[in-house]
A and B are shown apart, each in its own frame.
Chain A
Amino acid sequence: AQKVTQAQTEISVVEKEDVTLDCVYETRDTTYYLFWYKQPPSGELVFLIRRNSFDEQNEISGRYSWNFQKSTSSFNFTITASQVVDSAVYFCALSDNTGNQFYFGTGTSLTVIP
């Protein structure tokens, strides 16, 4: 069965602190895709990153970085020098190799305090 677990329900950090959002997934597929989405207070989900199961290279995009480790089935997301605008709910998602279904975690609500 496919499953995504985001154990952190809510996180609060002070502006400029670094914060890591955890994502652990379960799948029996050898080919799959992992995603992170941001849902700001306005409500619309915004795509952040996609990773396929064969690419374990970590990625950095500005203040955002992602650490994909197949050995621990984790795809963690780090925000460096957090800003108030980073306050949102962040979702990790998993898709199988058919792309027919996407499985979302329950989300982590991040609050950055000025």
Chain B
Amino acid sequence: GAGVSQTPSNKVTEKGKYVELRCDPISGHTALYWYRQSLGQGPEFLIYFQGTGAADDSGLPNDRFFAVRPEGSVSTLKIQRTERGDSAVYLCASSRSFYNEQFFGPGTRLTVL
């Protein structure tokens, strides 16, 4: 059984560029979460999807960040006009429903130069 996968594993970009980070959740999991983890910190909630809709996007830091999940499975986190402060590991997690345990992917390490 495949777990949560995230691509790319590493992304290096220049300040001001646009990036997309992809998450493939476990098949059948309706809940999908995006987190950002900075060095030495716990995961910081960004956005939660239940099916295709964003049930809670209050964790997105500003309007440069956007995420979609058009068919209720794969999700893409999009960051416009990247800034050096966006550098972090972006984690994706999925679960059967909101009260079940979340299964995390390996993360995408984003470095903005």
Contact = CB atoms under 8 A, between A and B. Distances in A.
A44 B45 contact: no
B25 interface: no
Interface stretch (B35-43, B64-72, B77-85): B35-43
Given A101-B45, A101-B48, A44 B104 contact: yes
A104 B101 contact: no
Contacts of B89: 43
A83 to B, nearest CB: 23
Most A CB atoms within 10 A — which of B35, B42, B91?
A: B42
A56 B43 CA distance: 26
For chain B, which range describes its interface: under 10, 10 to 19, 20 to 34, or 35 or more residues? 20 to 34
Given A91-B42, A104-B42, A98 B98 contact: yes
A104 B98 contact: no
Interface in B81-107: 89, 91, 93, 97-107
Contact of A104 (B31, B44, B97): B44
Interface of B: 31, 33, 35, 40-45, 48, 55-56, 58-59, 89, 91, 93, 97-107
Interface of A: 4, 33, 35, 37, 42-47, 50, 52, 91, 93, 95, 98-107
